[in-house]
Amino acid sequence: MEQCDCLIVGSGPAGLGAAFHLTEHDPGINIIILDKEKVTSGGLRNDCKMNFTFPTGFPLEYWDRAGAEELFPEMFNHLHPEIMTTKNLSIYQRRAERLGVRLMEIRQAHYGTDGGIILIRELVEKLKSRGVNFSLQEEMVDIKKGSPVVITDTREITFRKLIIALGRRGFAFLQEIMDKLEIHYIDNIVDIGLRIETREENYPIVRDYYDPKFHFPDKVRTFCTNSRAAYVVKEKYSGRHGRDYFSVNGHAFSEKRKRSGLVNFAMLKTVGFTRPLASGQEFAEMLGQQAMLMGGGKPLMQRVGDFRLGKRSNGESFTGDLYNFEPSLKSCTPGDISLAVPGKIMRAIWKAMKMLDTITPGLLHPATIMYYPEIKLYANKPQFKDEYFQVRDNIYLIGDGAGTSRGITGAWASGIRAASGILKSL
């Protein structure tokens, strides 16, 4: 049986943040990092925009401004972000305020999907040179209750400290682990919405501000804007009982790549449930599965022009001079998203889109595409024993999967925090 001081499951930013902090302060520590994928670093591969303004990416239940900001210098040391400039913000902010909308000013850096891969290589090499042992394509499948042993698909590993940082795709598995270890958690909040894609000239604010974050009434917000070499993707999520579904998402390459002329971003509504609904995640999964059913196993897409007229999109909606760009995600089914999105969510998002079109005119061009569903699961809220995200003696749950972050920087910071707890107790 393999043994280590600290086993980190998941090589996303949360796992890496922990590994860097541990090796910096305890050079002799013996760390194994597992990842079920054959490449490392989870979500750092996704567009890699980094937000350095509190509270973006830092859930307020676990972070305050001082606690987050004191970790930024350490992150700058490893991630070397080049903060992008913004222009004309006050003009957009004034227009937004008149409608009761807030435009957040965020310090942001953007590596792009290709730049992120280069960064990951550097980070992994550094950790290897500090003696960290990476084991890729190895999946944690279980944990022994009552003894410090993780079971993977190939072996058993004994740990002194265990950090589990599985990200959003590990959400369902993390719940199984929490059930097994009898860790109490709630899971009642989800973000559900659309991904919007349009030509850059219909959303020109991105030339002034790479990822403008608007907060609308009814808990609707823009999220993860991509432009320049941008495209929409679909990601498969495994739900309970083997019921898989797709969620759409967005990426962009760095400045070096050819521009697509398109912009994409999410319009998300946060939905919080109270008793008797037991699981927000299960609710979101069911919406994802319903969209799969309607789309014949694919996400749905609809042109704004069709949506406004109350008719479904079809093959013809994706040709012709008015509908003047092709969807970057072709493997979607043209249809009627208003049949699939719950009414209250659709009304709030459509209202927000109209407000956005007033702030940055052009968004509601008939050609604009709405993809559905985009689902964000980061609402697992385990009951932590301490501020270091410890749930049971020597077991720490961090990152997006455990609800301690909502983005790369928050995830990295969660890793630092868990690592400092571990260093104290070691």
Residues that bind ligand FAD (CB under 6 A): 9-15, 34-37, 42-43, 46-51, 57, 139-140, 165-170, 173, 224, 233, 235, 249, 251, 399-401, 405, 407-408, 411
Q: Are strands 156-164 and 395-397 parallel, antiparallel or unpaired?
A: parallel
Give me the least distance between CB of 36 and ligand FAD, in Å please. Answer: 4
**Toward ligand FAD, which CB reaches closer, 79 or 352?**
79
Least CB distance to ligand FAD at residue 43 (A): 2
CA angle 32–405–162, rounded 5-degree value? 25
Rounded to the nearest whole angstrom, what is the least distance from the CB of residue 297 to ligand FAD in the complex? 20
Least separation in angstroms between residue 252's CB and ligand FAD is: 8
Decide whether 355 or 418 has the Cβ nearer to ligand FAD. Answer: 418
Q: Give the SS3 label for residue 316.
A: helix
Q: Which is nearer to ligand FAD, 14 or 367 (CB)?
A: 14
Name which of 306 and 400 has its Cβ closer to ligand FAD.
400
**Measured from the CB atom, is 370 or 418 closer to ligand FAD?**
418
260 φ, ψ (degrees, to nearest 5): -90, -15
Which residue, 185 or 323, has its beta carbon nearer to ligand FAD?
185
> Residue 141 Cβ, how far from ligand FAD at the closest point, in Å?
7
Q: Which two tokens stand for residue 405?
A: 């972050």
Least CB distance to ligand FAD at residue 195 (A)? 10
**Closest Cα to residue 9, out of 196, 202, 165, 241?**
165
- Structure token pair of residue 81: 């972000």
Task: Confirm if 407 and 7 have CB atoms less than 8 A apart.
Answer: no
Radius of gyration of the chain (CA): 21
| Nearer residue to ligand FAD within complex by CB, 10 or 299 | 10
| φ and ψ at residue 417, rounded to 5 degrees | -65, -45
Interacting residues of 7 by C-beta distance below 8 A, sequence separation 6+: 31, 32, 34, 150, 157, 159, 161, 162, 163
Torsion-angle region of 47 (φ positive above 0: left; ψ -120 to 50: alpha; else: beta):
left
Residue 34 and residue 8 in contact, taking contact as beta carbons nearer than 8 Å:
yes
Min CB(48)–ligand FAD separation in Å:
6
- d(CA 159, CA 395) in angstroms, rounded, equals 10
CB of 42 to ligand FAD, least distance (A): 2
Closest CA to 270 of 356, 371, 193: 193
**354 CB neighbour count, 10 Å cutoff:** 13
Residues 351, 283: Cα–Cα separation, whole Å: 23
